[in-house]
């Protein structure tokens, strides 16, 4: 049996090696490492895939969030609401820009922004909401957009984990994750669903004026060369990474289908096991399963992980400490009552290997190993 990994980028690369190597070689030959034609080509192809009017590449997913917030021209002290159960980058950029992060709870089943908690957190200082499409499915965007309209707020979707997921509105209309709010952001970190071979990220929007500001912010605030109208940053998507991504974009739907098939097998295997909850699927979103995350109740998770490790099955805890309990982001206004789901999830979640290259033999072995480790 092939070694089991959380993600198997090595096998995936072997399957697309000819195309990827040729794409990289083309960049090497041209030496247009910065702003080569592959960057625009990939931005255009991703825009087409997402149904977004504008896609602007940048250096990573954290920068994408920062650039999005800088483009909105928020003022110090403005409040930005996001979830406490997320990768920390989301909150970090809010604080870095001297905005005030306001953390809310997630739902107990889908792990995305809890609408009741969101409503309670809105104040006259609230300017933006950052829902995170955690683990591969969309937050309840229709409810979030309705609230946004009511209070005149911006929405930035942190779509680092759900690229390719489809959101369905109550009236049946569908949109891709990341193009529903005013701005969407993503990461092309190698292990993400659309990952490059280094760092990369992108910002999406359907708003022409915002797109122009986003491009300026990402490029030193320049309106034209050596003319700086606003404060910006230097954040670019490398040409080599864009060339790799343009190859991999063609496989994104196939990759999502493979992940979904793995999740379906896990769901069936772990249904009806006492103390084990399989991940819920939102009624209004497809799931691209960036992570497959079980909840383990009434057992020692560390011992389960240890036993799995001994059998050669890796597992991960995303995320062990919620943002509201991180020293850097602690705020005395937060109570445990406000984060009931988040606190519980941090103590019970366990993510299993899921990727595009999982074979039946590996998955059967993982399932048997999990069942034995629970005892
Ligand atoms: C990965 C990730 C990011 C940050 O992306 P980087 O490319 O690593 O900077 C931000 N938000 C979420 C939810 C992520 O999963």
Q: Is the CB of 342 under 6 A from ligand 1?
A: no
> pLDDT at position 186, please?
98
User: How much is the pTM?
Assistant: 0.97
Residue 197 lies in a domain: yes
Q: Show which of 249, 269, 287 is a domain's final residue.
A: 249
Range of the domain at 62: 9-104+112-249
Q: How far is the CA of 277 from the centre of ligand 1 (A)?
A: 26
Model confidence band, residue 264 (pLDDT cutoffs 50, 70, 90): very high
99 has a pLDDT exceeding 90? yes
Residue 282 lies in a domain: yes
Residues 224-257 pLDDT 10s = 889 999 999 999 999 999 999 999 999 999 999 9
Q: Is the CB of 318 under 6 A from ligand 1?
A: no
Does 132 share its domain with 43? yes
> pLDDT at position 73, please?
83
> For ligand 1, what atom is nearest to the CA of residue 86?
13
Stretch 303-330: mean pLDDT, rounded? 97
> pLDDT at position 34, please?
97
Give the total number of structural domains in the chain: 2
Stretch 116-122: mean pLDDT, rounded? 98
Q: Tell me the CATH number at 65.
A: 3.40.640.10
- Exposed (0-12), middle (13-18) or buried (19+): which is 39, by Cβ within 10 Å? buried
Q: Show which of 249, 270, 288 is a domain's final residue.
A: 249
Model confidence band, residue 261 (pLDDT cutoffs 50, 70, 90): very high
> For ligand 1, what atom is nearest to the CA of residue 132?
13
Stretch 127-149: mean pLDDT, rounded? 98
Candidates 57, 62, 88, 162: which one to mutate for ligand 1, based on the most atoms within 8 Å of Cβ?
62
Please state, as a whole number, how many other Cβ atoms lie within 10 Å of the Cβ of residue 51.
13
59 has a pLDDT exceeding 90? yes
**Residue whose CA is at the smallest distance from ligand 1 atom 14:** 160
Q: Is the CB of 159 under 6 A from ligand 1?
A: no
Q: Is the CB of 61 under 6 A from ligand 1?
A: yes
Does 262 share its domain with 245? no
Residues 345-369 pLDDT 10s = 999 999 999 999 999 999 999 999 9
- Exposed (0-12), middle (13-18) or buried (19+): which is 85, by Cβ within 10 Å? buried
**CA 345, CA 349: separation in Å to the nearest integer?**
5
Q: How far is the CA of 67 from the centre of ligand 1 (A)?
A: 14
> pLDDT at position 253, please?
98
Does 241 share its domain with 277? no
Q: Is the CB of 87 under 6 A from ligand 1?
A: yes
Q: Is the CB of 201 under 6 A from ligand 1?
A: yes
Model confidence band, residue 319 (pLDDT cutoffs 50, 70, 90): very high
Residues 174-198 pLDDT 10s = 999 999 999 999 999 999 999 999 9
Q: Show which of 215, 249, 283 is a domain's final residue.
A: 249
> For ligand 1, what atom is nearest to the CA of residue 201?
7
Does 223 share its domain with 298? no
Question: From its phi and psi, is residue 192 left (phi > 0), alpha (psi between -120 and 50) or beta?
Answer: beta
CA dihedral 93, 97, 103, 107 (to 10 degrees): -40
Q: How far is the CA of 120 from the centre of ligand 1 (A)?
A: 26
- DSSP code per residue over 251-301: THHHHHHHHHHHHHHHHHHHTT-TTEEPPP--TTB-B--S-EEEEE-SS-H
> For ligand 1, what atom is nearest to the CA of residue 161?
15
Model confidence band, residue 116 (pLDDT cutoffs 50, 70, 90): very high
375 has a pLDDT exceeding 80? no
> pLDDT at position 65, please?
98
Of all residues in the chain, the percent with pLDDT exceeding 90 is 97
Q: How far is the CA of 19 from the centre of ligand 1 (A)?
A: 27
Stretch 217-223: mean pLDDT, rounded? 95
Does 259 share its domain with 217? no
């Amino acid at each position: 049996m092939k070694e089991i990994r959380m993600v198997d980028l090595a096998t995936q690369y072997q399957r697309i090696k000819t195309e990827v190597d040729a794409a990289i070689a083309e960049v090497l030959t041209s030496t247009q490492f910065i702003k080569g034609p592959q960057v625009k080509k990939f931005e255009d192809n991703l825009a087409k895939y997402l149904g977004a009017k504008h896609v602007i590449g940048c250096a990573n997913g954290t920068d994408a969030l920062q650039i999005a917030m800088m483009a909105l021209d928020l003022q110090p002290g403005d409040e930005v609401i996001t979830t406490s159960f997320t990768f920390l980058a989301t909150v970090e950029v809010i604080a870095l820009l001297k905005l005030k992060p306001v953390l809310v709870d997630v739902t107990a089943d889908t792990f995305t922004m809890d609408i009741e908690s969101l409503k309670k957190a809105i104040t006259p200082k609230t300017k933006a909401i950052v829902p995170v499409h955690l683990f591969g499915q969309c937050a309840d965007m229709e409810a979030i957009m309705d609230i946004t309209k009511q209070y005149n707020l911006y929405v930035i979707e942190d779509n680092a984990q759900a690229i390719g997921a489809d959101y369905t509105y109550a009236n049946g209309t569908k949109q891709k994750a990341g193009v529903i709010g005013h701005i969407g952001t993503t990461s092309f970190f190698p292990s993400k669903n659309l990952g490059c071979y280094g760092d990369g990220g992108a910002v999406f929007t359907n708003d022409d004026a915002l797109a122009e500001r986003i491009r300026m912010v990402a490029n030193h605030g320049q309106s034209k060369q050596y003319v700086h109208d606003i404060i910006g940053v230097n954040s670019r998507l490398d040409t080599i990474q864009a060339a790799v991504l343009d190859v991999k974009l063609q496989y994104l739907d196939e990759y999502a289908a493979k992940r979904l098939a793995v999740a379906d097998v896990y769901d069936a295997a772990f249904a009806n096991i006492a103390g084990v909850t399989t991940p819920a699927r939102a009624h209004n979103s497809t799931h691209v399963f960036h992570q497959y995350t079980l909840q383990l109740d009434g057992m020692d998770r560390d011992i389960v992980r240890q036993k799995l490790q001994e059998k050669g099955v890796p597992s991960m805890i995303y995320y062990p400490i919620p943002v509201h309990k991180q020293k850097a982001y602690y705020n005395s206004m937060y109570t445990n009552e406000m984060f009931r789901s988040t606190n519980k999830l941090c103590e019970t979640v366990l993510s299993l290997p899921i990727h595009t290259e999982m074979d039946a033999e590996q998955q059967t072995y993982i399932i048997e190993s999990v069942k034995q480790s629970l005892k």
